[in-house]
Structure formats: C-alpha cells, structure tokens
A = this chain, B = another copy of it.
Amino acid sequence: MALSAALLAVAGELTQRIHDGVVARGFEGLRPAHGFAFARLAPDGATVTDLAGHLGVTKQAASQLVDEIVRKGYAERRPHPEDARARLVVLTERGWACTRAAEEAAADAVRAWGDALGEGEMRTLLEQLARIAPNGPIRPAW
C-alpha cells in the first residue's frame, strides 16, 4: 500500500471515530466539519470572517454554520470588544463539553494505535508527522 493511501485511510478512519465518539457521548446533530470550527473557536473565540478563512469557505457559509451551532446551544455571539462591526463567536459550556468529548474520542483512537505500535514508535510517529505538517489552518479538505 502506498504511503499516501495509508495516510488517507488512517485519517479517514480517525475522523469517523472521532465523530462516532462524540455522538456516543451525547452530542448529536453535528457533522465532522463542525469539529474544525470548534477547534478554531476553542481558545478565545473567533469572528465569522476568521472562521470562514480557516474553514476555506465563504463568510456566508461560516455565518450559517455559526447560526446552526448557536441554535443548538454550542456557541453564542457576543459583541466584539474592539470592533463594533464584528461579533465574537465563543463556545458555551456545552460547546466546551463537546470539544472535550472530541478530544477524548481522538485520544481513544490514538490509544488503539498505541496497542499496535508501542510507545516508542508512537513518539516517532508524532514527531515525524509534526515535522511534515503544514502550519496553516486544518481544513476539512476533500
């Protein structure tokens, strides 16, 4: 199996497992793409335009996505402290809980790999991936 195919297969399965894990922990009505939005919102919140840039979609699409997660109680829009035009989208407590659930699910998947690789190889795998990973935003590509 080619390196690129193996990588895509592993990534696809990881995405699926994270999604399943999030659902299993009681957070429904979310699609994998939302996870990338949560990851951007998690630290300190973000504006719609910023989110759009990171997701690689138009700001209208990002705004629509924000509507959805706001309606479902995962985030809320606040006035931006420094720019009256902008609105700062921040996670609610439920949004944080969902983010933690995703991290747990990801950790579970990684742990399963650890069983096949062992601790030392896991470290080298992380180290190698980190060295070839791009700096930019993580987009739900393909």
Residue of B3, B35, B124, B129 near A6 (CB, 8 A) is B129
User: Which chain B residues lie closer than 8 Å to A142 at the CB level?
Assistant: 12, 15, 19, 31-33, 35, 140, 142
Q: How many copies does the complex hold?
A: 2
- A12 and B126 within 8 A (CB): no
Stretch at the interface among A57-65, A73-81, A91-99, A105-113: A105-113
Q: How many residues of A contact B (CB 8 A)?
A: 49
By a CB distance below 8 angstroms, the chain B residues around A9 are 133-134, 138
Chain B residues closer than 8 Å to A107, beta-carbon distance: 4
B residues within 8 A CB of A5? 39, 138
Min distance, Cβ A116 to any Cβ of chain B, angstroms: 5
A-B contact pairs, 21 of them (CB 8 A): A1-B130, A2-B106, A3-B110, A3-B125, A5-B39, A6-B129, A6-B130, A7-B10, A8-B14, A9-B134, A10-B11, A11-B12, A19-B142, A32-B141, A116-B131, A116-B132, A117-B128, A117-B132, A124-B128, A125-B125, A125-B129
Q: How far is the CB of A61 from chain B (nearest CB, A)?
A: 16
- CB neighbours (8 Å) of A109 from chain B are 4
Given contacts A3-B126, A7-B14, whether A117 and B141 have CB atoms under 8 Å apart is no
